[in-house]
């Protein structure tokens, strides 16, 4: 089945620094990748949608200059949290979608970001 690898699983960084999270589709080509943020005991909040080779589409209220998304290939998308602040601490999850005939979305295992 489709596998999405997300790395790192946990990261602690200092305020003001930047953190990069990677999302890779291991056995399929991900034409579209989605980045979510999840607060404790809450549902997944879509941050942005990225299509390979084009600029990401950000949801309302999500700062595109703070959350940089790059989808440079059909198997890799990255989310960079720039100038991180403690309020950016959260669980970030990517998901990838491949073949149009399969409407399924495969999720990564998530990244727990803690900004100190």
Sign of CA dihedral 86, 80, 9, 60: positive
> Is residue 74 near other proteins by the rule CB under 8 A?
no
- Least separation in angstroms between residue 20's CB and other proteins is 18
> Is residue 109 near other proteins by the rule CB under 8 A?
yes
Q: Which is nearer to other proteins, 56 or 115 (CB)?
A: 56
> Is residue 31 near other proteins by the rule CB under 8 A?
yes
- Least separation in angstroms between residue 65's CB and other proteins is 21
CA–CA distances in Å: residue 52 to residues 34, 90, 105, 106 = 11, 25, 16, 16
């Amino acid at each position: 089945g489709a596998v999405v690898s997300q790395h790192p699983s946990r990261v602690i960084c200092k305020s003001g620094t930047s953190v990069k999270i990677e999302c890779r589709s291991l056995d399929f080509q991900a034409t579209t990748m989605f980045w979510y943020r999840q607060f404790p005991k809450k549902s997944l909040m879509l941050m942005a949608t990225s299509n390979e080779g084009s600029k990401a589409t950000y949801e309302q209220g999500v700062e595109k200059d703070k959350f940089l998304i790059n989808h440079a290939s059909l198997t890799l998308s990255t989310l960079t949290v720039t100038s991180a602040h403690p309020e950016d601490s959260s669980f970030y999850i990517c998901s990838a979608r491949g073949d149009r005939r399969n409407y399924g979305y495969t999720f990564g295992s998530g990244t727990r970001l803690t900004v100190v």
